[in-house]
Structure 1
């Protein structure tokens, strides 16, 4: 490392770029002094860091090529949201909307005498629509804020190894691959627990679920004899309009052909939004195509967060329904709208809820749904909760009543769902569980403001808050005591807790007037699908009340911009990754385990007539893209001739 300060006051400088799903991390270490003695002439002059989005200003309007926006945050290495921060100089700072030619400048405060300071700077791409474009940026560290006003003449004055020229300053750069590398395992066991993270629509794993990955790895201390391995499938980015089957098959083959080896003895799935259905299809596909997989690998956790498990056919605005049926967002939109007809008169989500998936799901130790009660205009409450909930209790909690304790280790094993409280303590031995439609019919009061909060499905508002999320204030970031409780409902629901169907039981596809065939309404289809998902198993349903943007807050898409979801990720890790002995949540189901392979006709040999909708090879043209992807691909052909955003 060169010693002394460079002539222009810049101590470190680097040019770099990030593409869709990429982030880069800079670990900045500064030794205030060396040795054991504190120098008499020590000075506490702050350093400064600047990140500048150097993408050409003309690309700011090219939204479908990007958008060309950066997210940046700065925090001390020891920061954790569970700890109260006393000194404001240690507060994290962030900016989620750094446009082309804009800057993020922050102070690296030296406010107390200690030998070493360590800060972490994350630079994250906010590109959504295009895999080929990139965002160029520069990062600089200066000894004064004014040093950034000077134009950097050349990096030749800086050390060619680490670009630093200041005594005591070290900067370590980590790429996306470095950040996602599996941490070193200190145990001696060769066994591994594979944890699959799956992103949602127009999203990605490596940037959008990076925070969750890091929090899960912190639970490794609970597994001295088992290595946690967190992975995500990246080849579905920019492909999410092509349909759940396309996405699920890609994920399934990735798990079986690329991730699985003899060390893998357990597997868990965590899916956000559309990712919940993607992982469900992948599980079903593996069950039929690779029937030996789940004989070798124990399924542990099946978790979804704000996932449209029943689609979004009802309780959404008419313009959204029309857009889905027209294929505005491709095959995926038609499948979510229960409008797809590739497999006869049965929508894909209906077929997915049949035998194979349910048989595998019953084998998972834990099945948990995380559900947004409000401020999620993307996925309606009824769909992410599998229709059946104690809606009356939800309204009471939204009305301001104290949230009951939701200690994940305090769930009773017998008769866990009671209307008394979230822990199943006091109260009757009955349940107020109802379906969404039944609840609203009984309510009969459309002017009830509390009730309408559950009906909030404004797609436009949600899209706006996704691009420009309402950010937490400084007090929220520094003081855990000021944060309102977010988990308002936490119960285990079993098949026996479901209310009886509204009409008498008739074979699916027949009417109550007789055996005459009658096309099911979408609401009827949703209830059939929901009841199938509950067949022979229990579900833990955790309903949360988050501020906008709730759909992305629930996974903490960005560490600080989506900080309202911290408690949800804490709950998820605490409830599902506490070691092999923490199995209180996996209460036994009443039903006997179903016969494993009674309905598998061909053992993976094609064509599998019973499951051709699942394993049949599709013409690539059947995986239709939507308007956004088509426009983005057209734009890509243009930008290939403009290398400044792709090379």
Structure 2
């Protein structure tokens, strides 16, 4: 007979996560009553009424969940079994998984429950519970006492570390992670924890900064969102409170539209501090990941049309560039001008790197994410996605596939998705072949005019735009080697 041994319930909103560490220990009970159990069943339920399933644009009211042995988390390359995952648990639906008790009769699991809300500040209620098949003659309390657990909320996992100017030599490196359109800080969870694990021996020097100030607000436009983010950075590091900055270095990593946000943040920090910010704070790495650096002229019609109508707010209109400079938003023109504050500020960074998907990215084309110029042999081998392929990857966003061991093995230890890695110097950019240049080429030429760019091209099968940054640890694990490449080649 199945009996519930333990239960916890809570709720999540946009950009929120609950993480449980659940331990079951019957090692002291080997030779005594009650009988040992060898399996538990975990059930994770979205408690939102099923009628809200159709309210996609006001939610969606979905959660995702994963369960894995805690011992496996730090060594994914040698997975003994597939983690239990369900990327979309819709209203009224549940995820059930069997949990095996090992021979030593002690096991601990890590359970993550993540809000998939994107469009509104809704609350999604959930419940997680443990069951066991035990005789009805045995009190379930005997087994319940064998369960202990810890709960970590969003603030515990993604909260910013408190900074203080007292007793510090200010040798702090701020790593700024910025999400894109309709994104949340959860999109950077894997990258954040990968950085923290890589620098665990020096964790007091590395500050991984993620901000929720633009949750639900990314449609307000690049300029407004970037200023809001920059002001939050200035408050966080106490720019106006102390005689000298608390941090000494800064690096910026932006995914998708987050790359454009970071471009404007650099210019704003440069201007609002009277050009002193990057004199007092040393800029180290400026990194973009699948970012539309030249706007988005090559989107499929069914993506571009609603953006032109404003379905993605002002941001969508800003990204759609027309073919002639006179039709381009002044905001985009300011990006392309070599004397702009953003241009001056980014030139100060020690290294500039962009990661670009060569295929399977239906949102950001290779031309715009790679700043237009690539080796000829690469350009000739890159093709645009057709309608069927685009729709297939669009559907994967809403109906993610099951996680298989083959997929995980290929993601963690298969052939590297990095197919090109080269630094492009200004002298490597060819002379114009015509007098009247497309606006994308004009912008690209200005960005290459007096600075070098390291261009890393990535070939990922599947939903490349989300996989490249590992938006969700297991579902988007095809990008784990991209994140490893980033960390191996950018000392922080």
TM-score class normalised by the smaller sequence: 0.7 to 0.9
Aligned residue number for residue 622 of structure 1: none
Most deviating of 56-65 and 41-50: 41-50
RMSD: 3.2
Name the CA shift for 1:105/1:346 in 2 (closer, same or farther; >3 Å).
closer
What's 2:462 paired with?
548
1:76 to 61, 69, 84: 69
Distance in structure 1 (CA, Å) of the matches to 2:389 and 2:249:
39
Give, in whole Å, the separation in 2 of the partners of 1:574 and 1:15: 40
Pair 1:456–1:297, CA change in 2 (3 A): farther
CA distance in 2, matches of 1:498, 1:479: 36
Aligned length: 476
Q: Distance in 1 between matches of 2:102 and 2:372?
A: 53
1:493 maps to 2:421: no
Post-superposition offset of 1:259: 3.5
1:145 and 1:536 map into 2 onto residues whose CA distance is: 72
Alignment of 1:234-633 (within 5 A): 234-260=212-238, 262-290=245-273, 291-313=275-297, 315-338=298-321, 347-354=330-337, 355=339, 356-392=341-377, 394=378, 451-452=382-383, 460-478=391-409, 483-503=414-434, 524-577=438-491
**2:16 aligned residue:** 22
Aligned pair in 2 of structure 1 residues 575, 60: CA closer, same or farther (>3 Å)?
Answer: same
Cα deviation, residue 320, structure 1: 4.2
SS of match in other structure, 2:278: helix
2:210 corresponds in structure 1 to: 232
Secondary structure of 2:438's counterpart equals: helix
SS at match of 1:382: helix
Q: CA deviation at 1:214?
A: 0.5
The answer to whether the 8 Å contact 2:39/2:101 transfers is yes
Partner of 2:111: 121
CA contact (8 A) 1:487 1:542 kept: yes
Alignment of 1:184-203 (within 5 A): 190-203=170-183
The aligned counterpart of 2:86 is 95
Q: Higher mean Cα deviation, 23-32 or 477-486?
A: 477-486
Instruction: Using the TM superposition, give the Cα deviation of residue 525 of structure 1 relative to its aligned residue in structure 2, in angstroms.
Output: 1.2
Residue 127 (structure 2) aligns with:
138
Cα displacement string for residues 616-639 of structure 1 (whole angstroms, at most 9, x for unaligned residues)? xxxxxxxxxxxxxxxxxxxxxxxx
Aligned 8 A contact 1:374 1:456 in 2: no
SS of residue matched to 2:27:
coil
Higher strand share: 2
Q: Counterparts of 1:208 and 1:391 in 2: how far apart (Å)? A: 34
Shift of 1:123: 0.2
Question: Do the aligned partners of residues 14 and 281 (structure 1) sit closer, same or farther apart at CA in structure 2, a change above 3 Å counting?
Answer: same
**Counterparts of 2:31 and 2:77, CA distance in 1:** 32
TM-score, with structure 2 as normaliser: 0.88
Q: Give distance in 2, aligned partners of 1:498 and 1:384.
A: 16
Q: Does 2:189 align with 1:210?
A: yes
| Structure 2 contact 2–133 (Cα < 8 Å) conserved | no
Summarize the Cα distance change of 1:358–1:141 in structure 2 as closer, same or farther, 3 Å threshold. same
Which one has the largest radius of gyration?
1
Q: Could you tell me how far apart the structure 2 residues matched to 1:15 and 1:221 are?
A: 32
SS of residue matched to 1:10: strand
Unaligned stretches of 5+ residues in structure 2: 240-244
TM-score, normalised via structure 1 length:
0.68
Instruction: Tell me, in whole angstroms, the C-alpha distance in 1 between the residues paired with 2:302 and 2:85.
Output: 36
Please list every run of 5 or more consecutive structure 1 residues that lacks an aligned counterpart in the other structure: 1-6, 148-156, 159-163, 395-438, 444-449, 504-511, 513-519, 580-647
Q: Which residue pairs with 2:242 in the alignment?
A: none
